[in-house]
Amino acid sequence: MTDSDTGKGLSLDDARGAGVEASLRPTTTGARIAHLLQRDGVGATVVLVLVIIFAASTVDGFGSIGNIRNVLISVSFPAIIAIGMTLVIVTGGIDLSLGSVYALAAILCTKVLDVSKGLGGNAIAGIALALGAALLIGLVQGVLIARVGLPPFIVTLAGLYGVRGLVYFVSNNGNDVYSAPQSGAFYRFGTGTVFTIGYPVVLALILYLLFHVTLSRTSFGLTAYALGGSEDASSLMGLKVRSTKIRLYVISAGLAGVAGILAAAYSQSGTPDLGRGFELNAIAAVVIGGTLLTGGAGSLIGTAAGVLLLGVVSSYINLGTDLPQAAQAVVTGAFVIVVVIVQRYLNRVQRR
Amino acid sequence: MSETPTPAVPEAPGRPARSVDRSKVASFLQDNGVYVALAVLVGYNALFTNFWFTASNLKLQLVLVAPILIVALGMALVIGTEGIDLSVGATMAISASVIGQGLDAGLSVPVIIVGVLLAGMLVGAIAGTLVAFFEVQPIVATLALLVAGRGIAVLMQASTLSVSDPTLLKFGSGSWLGIQAPFWDALVPVIIVAFVVRRTVFGRRIVVIGDNVRASYLSGIPVRRTLLTVYIVSGLLAAWAGLVVTTFTSTNDPSTNGLGYELFAITAVVVGGTALSGGRVRILGTIAGALVMQVLRSTLAFHNFTDAVTQMVTAVIIIVAVLVQRKRARS
């Protein structure tokens, strides 16, 4: 991967590592291993494989098809959110509003279906409204960040509050829980399967492939990396800094919307407390996947490994231990801390 | 109260008078906008909200603002160093769990309080060590503690206990000079932190580090030690706030105690005019910021708006606060 295959000027790896010393060509064996572990989520994948082997060999039923299917389904919704989070973090930004946007999409969707039940339940209208609202929120946040120049942390923090408020506003202060009919297109959309794999999992996979290619093989993706490396330099190079940023925030909110719609279709219900803390878990997955919060480096393969790792650990705690689910939060936090410390160590090894 | 002297913006020669005025207005608003907002809110309520401008309600506002204010003080210090502390809400939960465990074990009240404060300092010390010595970004380090800390609190004590120890309850439900205890619980740290920021070398170091870390290292300031201390103080204050909430409500619920407080505190600090880019600690502004959020919530509640509306209005206020700050930066 170091010798990138793009012949033209700016190689992919150069762009990806902009501003990160980790991208320097390694010279010693130790540095080479360190370099490899940080590439494209290799480290997170290695840990993921080890945890799966450990869990499958010590816990009965962990490796069963049924459990694998459960883990994949439960992971697919946060996984889609984590795509958008990765894109935004690559540019050096952050999006704290994603959990709220996820809930809003789910609520809008199910509310439309619930209210129009007598009329046969119009799934298209529900999906369009939910997705439209998500994209609009992304656009407003993107404009405030890229055009007006406000810090992403603050803008999306306001988004976290404001959109959650909207969720409660829409759902009669959280007193209403909406349910979609257990039949029809919307029901099949959430619960259908391809070769016994649920649609949400398939869709998550497709989105990962799509955005992985977008991020690593298109000028839009490379612009995102360049932005995260240095916004000033990107702007001087004539890259479309502002429009790229706005589009990324629209995409990340849109993906959270898709995840919310999917979750609503899967569970056939929308509750106002849905998705609380999802943004934090998404950030944790992104960090575990090796993406730096400083921007300019990272990959969706790492994020996928990070999300899966958190899902596998959660399943292990459920099946293999007597610990309550709260233990999962402790493990997640510990993972994040270990990953960032190991990353720092790996960076040091490479610098030598 | 504790603003650092900002260098006066040199006026460009030959600038048209109108734009100078405008920059003056912007700069006034940036420095005092939060007080203006507070005055407008209180004034509005005094005139148009029935039963709001009464001694008992005003006192109640001062009591209700206490936990957020206590947390926001620590947050202001951390933000002053260009950091952030997302772990404060989880620390409050741990505080609730320690109280529950302490009461269960039959420990005496002073021991429980020392335990609570030590637990908070421990969380802060972990965050501070990660930030100062491992050079982990503050948002990542404290995010990990937010997620893990709440889990630890719930693991320590899964169910809700009602706190009935009369001595312990005095910290939240007692009253002095006609005002309930949380007000006094907040007043003490306010005075101490304000003094530290204004009058001590440590206070100056916080601001200098937030202004320019590299220069601070080069000029021999003990950057790591100062950062570590700041996060420990933030953890300590969060644990104290957890104690205040637990004894005020006389229930300890580790799964909800302090939930979202990191965001309330950041909001209070930002609305109070402290930029997230560090180099400045405004204690008086932070107090006013916390009060604005509290009075706003109460105003909307008095007018029968729901919590949903409050959250949306809060979002708008955050954006307006940073917009005003940005104007200043430009002028």
Q: Please, what sign has the CA dihedral across residues B323, B25, B311, B194?
A: positive
A-chain residue closest to B321, CA distance? A154
Q: What is the pLDDT at residue A119?
A: 63
* Cα A121 off chain centre by: 30
* Cα B330 off chain centre by: 27
Residues A337, B141: contact at Cβ < 8 Å? yes
A342 interfacial to chain B (CB closer than 8 Å): no
Whole-number Å distance between alpha carbons of B118 and B147: 20
Contact B309 A153 (CB under 8 A): no
Q: What is the pLDDT at residue A2?
A: 39
Q: What is the pLDDT at residue A142?
A: 93
Whether pLDDT at B92 is above 60: yes
B-chain residue closest to A169, CA distance? B308
Best probe of the B interface among A157, A286, A348, by most B CBs < 10 A, is A157
Contact B144 A333 (CB under 8 A): yes
Q: What is the pLDDT at residue A120?
A: 59
Beta-carbon contacts of residue A26 (< 8 Å; ≥ 6 apart): A32, A34, A35, A350
Q: How far apart are the first and last CA of chain A?
A: 21
Whether pLDDT at B77 is above 70: yes
A148 interfacial to chain B (CB closer than 8 Å): yes
Whether pLDDT at B69 is above 90: yes
Q: What ipTM, to 2 d.p.?
A: 0.76
Q: What is the pLDDT at residue B239?
A: 94
Chain A and chain B share a number of CB contacts under 8 A equal to: 141
Place of tokens 């370099």: A35
Taking contacts as CB-CB distances below 8 angstroms, the residues of chain A near B315 are 158-159, 161-163, 165
Whole-number Å distance between alpha carbons of A286 and B103: 40
Taking contacts as CB-CB distances below 8 angstroms, the residues of chain A near B145 are 333
Q: Residue B323 to residues B9, B223, B271, B327: CA-CA distances in angstroms?
A: 19, 31, 11, 6
Q: Please, what sign has the CA dihedral across residues B79, B84, B85, B89?
A: positive
pLDDT cut 90: percent of chain B above it: 17
Contact A150 B149 (CB under 8 A): no
A256 interfacial to chain B (CB closer than 8 Å): no
Secondary structure of chain B in HEC code, one letter for each residue: CCCCCCCCCCCCCCCCHHHHHHHHHHHHHHHHHHHHHHHHHHHHHHHHCCCCCCHHHHHHHHHHCHHHHHHHHHHHHHHHCCCCCCCHHHHHHHHHHHHHHHHHCCCCHHHHHHHHHHHHHHHHHHHHHHHHCCCCCHHHHHHHHHHHHHHHHHHHCCCCEECCCHHHHHHHHCEECCEEHHHHHHHHHHHHHHHHHHHCHHHHHHHHHHHCHHHHHHCCCCHHHHHHHHHHHHHHHHHHHHHHHHHHHCEECCCCCCCCHHHHHHHHHHHCCCCCCCCCCCHHHHHHHHHHHHHHHHHHHHCCCCHHHHHHHHHHHHHHHHHHHHHHHHC
For chain A positions 191-220, those within 8 Å of chain B (CB to CB) are none
A338 interfacial to chain B (CB closer than 8 Å): no
pTM of the shown model: 0.82
Contact A165 B270 (CB under 8 A): no
Contact A324 B266 (CB under 8 A): no
Taking the CA atoms of residue B57, residue B63, residue B68 and residue B73 in that order, the dihedral angle to the nearest 10 degrees is 120
Q: What is the pLDDT at residue B74?
A: 93
Contact B308 A159 (CB under 8 A): no
Q: What is the pLDDT at residue A104?
A: 93
Q: Which two tokens stand for residue A156?
A: 């999306």
Beta-carbon contacts of residue A188 (< 8 Å; ≥ 6 apart): none
- The DSSP secondary-structure symbol of A174 reads T
Nearest partner of B223 among B92, B157, B313, B131, judged by Cα: B131
Interval B50-63 mean pLDDT? 80
Contact B147 A333 (CB under 8 A): yes
Nearest partner of B82 among B269, B277, B286, judged by Cα: B277
Q: Which two tokens stand for residue A235?
A: 């702007």
Taking contacts as CB-CB distances below 8 angstroms, the residues of chain B near A167 are 308
Residues A86, A114: contact at Cβ < 8 Å? no
Q: Which two tokens stand for residue B174?
A: 């007692």
Q: Residue B105 to residues A57, A214, B249: CA-CA distances in angstroms?
A: 39, 58, 21
Helix B223-249 with B166-173: angle, nearest 10 deg = 100
Q: What is the pLDDT at residue B4?
A: 47
Best probe of the B interface among A100, A337, A338, A346, by most B CBs < 10 A, is A337
Radius of gyration of chain B (CA): 20
CA angle, corner B330, sides to A150 and A243, nearest 5?
Answer: 40
Phi, psi torsion values for A220, nearest 5 degrees: -60, -45
Q: How far is A184 from chain B (nearest CA, A)?
A: 32
Buried b (16+ CB within 10 A) or exposed e, A203-218: bbeebbeebbebbbee
B-chain residue closest to A277, CA distance? B147
Q: What is the pLDDT at residue A249?
A: 94
Q: What is the pLDDT at residue B199?
A: 87
Q: What is the pLDDT at residue B232?
A: 95
- Per-residue pLDDT 10s for chain A (352 aa) are 333 333 333 444 444 444 444 445 556 777 777 767 666 677 778 888 888 888 888 887 777 888 888 888 889 999 999 999 999 998 888 898 999 999 999 988 888 887 776 665 577 888 888 899 999 999 999 999 988 888 888 899 889 889 988 998 888 777 777 777 776 777 777 777 777 778 888 889 999 999 988 888 888 888 888 887 777 787 787 778 788 889 999 999 999 999 999 888 888 777 888 888 888 888 888 888 888 777 777 888 889 988 998 888 888 888 877 777 788 888 888 888 888 888 777 777 766 5
Q: What is the pLDDT of residues B240-260, one digit of tens each?
A: 999 998 888 878 788 778 787
Q: What is the pLDDT at residue B3?
A: 45
Whole-number Å distance between alpha carbons of A173 and B325: 33
Contact A340 B145 (CB under 8 A): no
Whole-number Å distance between alpha carbons of B103 and B106: 5
For chain A, what's the residue count?
352
Higher pLDDT, B326 or A320: A320
B-chain residue closest to A281, CA distance? B147
Residues A286, A84: contact at Cβ < 8 Å? no
Whole-number Å distance between alpha carbons of A238 and A230: 13
Nearest partner of B73 among B285, B297, B296, judged by Cα: B285
Split at pLDDT 50, 70, 90, the class of B208 is: confident
* Cα B193 off chain centre by: 12
Q: Which of B154, B276, B315 sits opposite A326 (nearest CB)?
A: B154
Best probe of the A interface among B159, B307, B318, B324, by most A CBs < 10 A, is B318
* Cα A222 off chain centre by: 19
Place of tokens 């439209």: A132
Residues A302, A47: contact at Cβ < 8 Å? no
In sequence order, which ranges of A289-325 are alpha helices (DSSP H)? 300-320
Contact B326 A150 (CB under 8 A): yes
* Cα B106 off chain centre by: 32
